[in-house]
Chain A
Amino acid sequence: MNTRTGLYPNLIAFNTIIRKEVSRFMRIWSQTILPPSITMSLYFIIFGKFIGSQINLIDGFSYIQYIVPGLIMMSIMTSSYANTASSFFLSKFNRSIEEMLVAPMPNYIILLGFTLGGALRGLMVGAIVTLVSFLFTHMPFQHPGIICIMALLSAMVLSLGGFINGIYAKRFDDISFIPTFVLTPLTYLGGVFYSIQQLPPTWRAISVFNPVFNMVDTFRYGFLGMSDMNIYFGLTLVIVLFFILFAWALLLLYRGVGIKV
Chain B
Amino acid sequence: MIALSVKQLTKTYANGAYALKGIDLDVAQGDFFALLGQNGAGKSSTIGIICSLIKKTAGKVIVFGHDLDTEPNKAKSLIGVVPQEMNFNSFEKISQVLLNEAGYYGIPSKIAKERMEMYLTVMGLWDMRDQTGFKLSGGMKRRLLIARALMNEPQLLILDEPTAGVDIELRHTLWRFLTQLNEQGTTIILTTHYLEEAEHLCKHVAIIDHGEIIEHANMKTLINRLDVQTMILDLAAPITTPITLNGYPASLTDETTLEVKIHRHQSINELFQRLTEQHIHVTSMRNKTNRLEELFIGLIADNKRGN
Seen from chain A, the residues whose Cβ lies within 8 Å of a Cβ on chain B are 1, 3-6, 8-13, 15-17, 19-20, 23-24, 27, 91, 94-96, 98-106, 256, 260-261
Which of A3, A16, A256 is the one whose CB lies under 8 Å from B55?
A: A256
Residues of B within 8 A of A102 (CB): 51-53, 76, 79, 81
Q: CA–CA, A99 to B100, complex, Å?
A: 9
Which of A3, A12, A95 is the one whose CB lies under 8 Å from B107?
A: A12
Residues of A within 8 A of B108 (CB): 12
For B108, the closest partner residue in chain A by CB is A12
Q: CB-defined interface of B98-118 with A at 8 Å, one 1/0 digit per residue?
A: 011101111111000000000
B88 at the interface (CB under 8 A from A): yes
For chain B, the count of residues having a C-beta within 8 Å of the partner chain is 41
Residues of B within 8 A of A10 (CB): 106
For A20, the closest partner residue in chain B by CB is B100
For B89, the closest partner residue in chain A by CB is A96
Question: Known: A9-B106, A12-B103. Is A103-B76 also a contact (CB below 8 A)?
Answer: yes
B87 at the interface (CB under 8 A from A): yes
Which of A16, A256, A261 is the one whose CB lies under 8 Å from B103?
A: A16
Residues of B within 8 A of A260 (CB): 53-55
> Which of B64-72, B191-199, B283-291, B294-302 sits within the interface?
B64-72
Which of A23, A24, A103, A261 is the one whose CB lies under 8 Å from B104?
A: A103
A19 nearest CB across to chain B (Å): 8
Chain A: interface secondary structure? helix
B186 at the interface (CB under 8 A from A): no
Which of B53, B65, B103 is the one whose CB lies under 8 Å from A98?
A: B53
Q: CA–CA, A101 to B13, complex, Å?
A: 19
B95 at the interface (CB under 8 A from A): no
For B87, the closest partner residue in chain A by CB is A95
Question: Are B54 and A261 within 8 A (Cβ)?
Answer: yes
| CB pairs A–B below 8 angstroms (15 shown) | A3-B73, A4-B105, A5-B106, A11-B106, A15-B103, A16-B100, A20-B100, A95-B87, A96-B88, A99-B88, A99-B104, A101-B52, A102-B53, A260-B53, A261-B55
Question: Are A1 and B65 within 8 A (Cβ)?
Answer: yes
For B50, the closest partner residue in chain A by CB is A102
Residues of A within 8 A of B77 (CB): 3-5, 9, 104
B46 at the interface (CB under 8 A from A): no
For B3, the closest partner residue in chain A by CB is A1
For A259, the closest partner residue in chain B by CB is B53
Question: Are B106 and A1 within 8 A (Cβ)?
Answer: no
Residues of A within 8 A of B81 (CB): 102
Most buried by B among A10, A13, A24, A106: A13
Question: Are A105 and B90 within 8 A (Cβ)?
Answer: no
| Contacts beyond the supplied A15-B103, A102-B52: 11 A-B pairs with Cβ under 8 Å | A1-B64, A3-B78, A5-B73, A12-B107, A13-B104, A13-B105, A98-B53, A98-B83, A101-B52, A102-B53, A103-B101
Residues of B within 8 A of A100 (CB): 104
Question: Known: A94-B89, A95-B85, A261-B54. Is A104-B106 also a contact (CB below 8 A)?
Answer: yes
Residues of B within 8 A of A99 (CB): 87-88, 100-101, 104, 148
Seen from chain B, the residues whose Cβ lies within 8 Å of a Cβ on chain A are 13-14, 51-55, 64-66, 72-79, 81, 83, 85-91, 96, 99-101, 103-109, 148, 152, 155
B16 nearest CB across to chain A (Å): 13
Question: Are B106 and A13 within 8 A (Cβ)?
Answer: yes
Question: Are B89 and A103 within 8 A (Cβ)?
Answer: no
Which of A8, A12, A94 is the one whose CB lies under 8 Å from B90?
A: A94
Question: Known: A16-B100, A261-B54. Is A103-B155 also a contact (CB below 8 A)?
Answer: no
Q: CA–CA, A94 to B73, complex, Å?
A: 24
Residues of A within 8 A of B91 (CB): 24, 27
Question: Are A106 and B73 within 8 A (Cβ)?
Answer: yes
Q: Closest 6 CB pairs between A and B?
A: A9-B106, A16-B103, A103-B104, A95-B87, A104-B73, A104-B77
Residues of A within 8 A of B51 (CB): 101-102
Q: CA–CA, A4 to B152, complex, Å?
A: 9
Question: Are B104 and A105 within 8 A (Cβ)?
Answer: yes
Residues of B within 8 A of A6 (CB): 106
Q: CA–CA, A95 to B83, complex, Å?
A: 11
Most buried by A among B54, B77, B86: B77
Q: CA–CA, A8 to B13, complex, Å?
A: 37
Question: Are A96 and B155 within 8 A (Cβ)?
Answer: no
Q: CA–CA, A60 to B78, complex, Å?
A: 64
Q: CA–CA, A99 to B79, complex, Å?
A: 12
For A15, the closest partner residue in chain B by CB is B103
Question: Are A104 and B87 within 8 A (Cβ)?
Answer: no
Q: CA–CA, A94 to B103, complex, Å?
A: 19
For B72, the closest partner residue in chain A by CB is A104
Question: Are B88 and A9 within 8 A (Cβ)?
Answer: no
Residues of B within 8 A of A5 (CB): 73-74, 77, 106
Residues of A within 8 A of B87 (CB): 94-96, 98-99
Q: CA–CA, A103 to B74, complex, Å?
A: 10
Most buried by A among B14, B89, B91: B89
Question: Are A1 and B55 within 8 A (Cβ)?
Answer: no
Residues of B within 8 A of A19 (CB): 103
For A260, the closest partner residue in chain B by CB is B55
Question: Are B88 and A4 within 8 A (Cβ)?
Answer: no
